[in-house]
Structure 1
Amino acid sequence: MTAESVAPEPMWLVAANVVRWRRYGPGGQELRPGTKSYRGGAKVYVMGTYGGMAHAEVSTIGRGRGSARWISIDLGSRHLHTFRPELVYSPAVLRRAEAGSVASPTREEAEKLAVLLERLAADYRDSHYRAPHSTACFCHTCPVTPG
């Protein structure tokens, strides 16, 4: 059995979803689906954070928008929601996490990080534009009303 055929050990990571619609443009009055790299609703894994705790940037692993191949990019936490701990078994994700020198956190550490990132991302979304939403807003924080 070769070293490459051995499956990596499962690892606790923080999973999140990309916002379906994000505010864009002057005052955030325009909406765009997902991000440039990820489709709206795509599941991503957080490898780490940086950039100060006021506007946390996160390093992510997920399926890219165009090719559906696994990519690793840095992203503003305001573009993510529903942070949660998850035990990851996918060899592709685990290889990228190991290449990024991600320390394997315990479940409790992943839970604490998920709660912190959810709060910071919500604060970051609210403070980023400092302008009211448009009347027909479908961004993550606005309730969708059938009409």
Structure 2
Amino acid sequence: MERANGSGEGTPEPVWTVAANVVAWRRCGVGGQELRPGTKFFKGGAKVYVAKVYWGPGGDRVTVAGRERHTGRWIVIDTATRHLYGFRPKLVHTPRVLERLREERYARGFTSAEYAVDASATLERYARQYRAATSAGSPHPDRCLCHACLTGEAAYTEGSGGPAAAG
């Protein structure tokens, strides 16, 4: 798993993971009328690496490695898929990320680049569905800053895959 370099120290072998970003703002509270920046552990826009996906309950939780909001330390934590966006396959070379994944027993990442591509597409679809289901039927506040409103996701209905019909 480790390669030897000229200095005699081993460097971790790169692994395929799925990279994503934390949403800038998320809806929460009664009826989704409250907005909060990022998550409790990550700033909005922070890059995280998905180490494990819980496919059984529908991919609503993932284990990610990223820099913690307040201290900047690398942490590995479970988070909701709906709080992430921009899923993409990534070959990780960063020694600190690989070290944290190894400490948490996720050192092998995804088995191949093809699997990481498939997983990233599936996770993006799940994240959109879970964001749409959060406070479904509740109107967004005026000048809403949630991820769905900022990116235009709110204009799409869950089942159609296209823009919602104008009322």
After TM superposition, the score normalised by the length of structure 1 is 0.90
Residue number in structure 1 paired with 2:84: 80
Listed as ranges, the matches of 1:1-147 within 5 Å are 5-50=9-54, 52-54=56-58, 56-102=60-106, 103-104=108-109, 105-130=111-136, 131-143=138-150
Q: Distance between the aligned counterparts of 2:16 and 2:50, measured in 1? A: 10
Q: Is 2:59–2:123's contact at 8 Å kept on the other side of the alignment?
A: no
User: Which residue type is aligned with residue 24 of structure 1?
Assistant: C
Cα RMSD (Å): 2.1
Question: 1:16-50: per-residue Cα shift (whole Å, max 9, x none)?
Answer: 00000010110111111000100000000001112
- Name the CA shift for 1:118/1:127 in 2 (closer, same or farther; >3 Å): same
5+ unaligned residues in a row in structure 1: which ranges?
none
Larger radius of gyration: 2
CA distance in 2, matches of 1:143, 1:125: 13
String of CA shifts for 1:98-123, please: whole Å, max 9, x gaps.
23333342111100000000000110
Query: How far apart in 1 are the matches of 2:123 and 2:59?
Result: 10
- Per the alignment, in what secondary structure is the counterpart of residue 143 of structure 1? helix
Aligned residues: 144
Cα distance in 2 for partners of 1:55, 1:14 equals 13
Q: How far 1:75 sits from its partner (Å)? A: 0.2
Q: Is contact 1:16–1:43 with CA below 8 Å preserved after alignment?
A: yes
Query: Which fold has the larger relative contact order, with Cα–Cα distance below 8 Å and residues 6 or more apart in sequence?
Result: 1
Does the residue aligned with 2:98 lie in a helix, a strand or coil? helix
Cα displacement (A) at 1:135: 2.1
Summarize the Cα distance change of 1:25–1:53 in structure 2 as closer, same or farther, 3 Å threshold. same
Judge conservation of contact 1:54–1:124 (CA < 8 Å) in 2.
no
Structure 1 55/112 Cα, relative in aligned 2: closer, same or farther at 3 Å?
Answer: closer
List 4+ stretches of structure 1 deviating above 3 A: 51-55
Consecutive unaligned residues in structure 2, runs of 5 or more: 152-167
Identity of aligned residues (%): 48
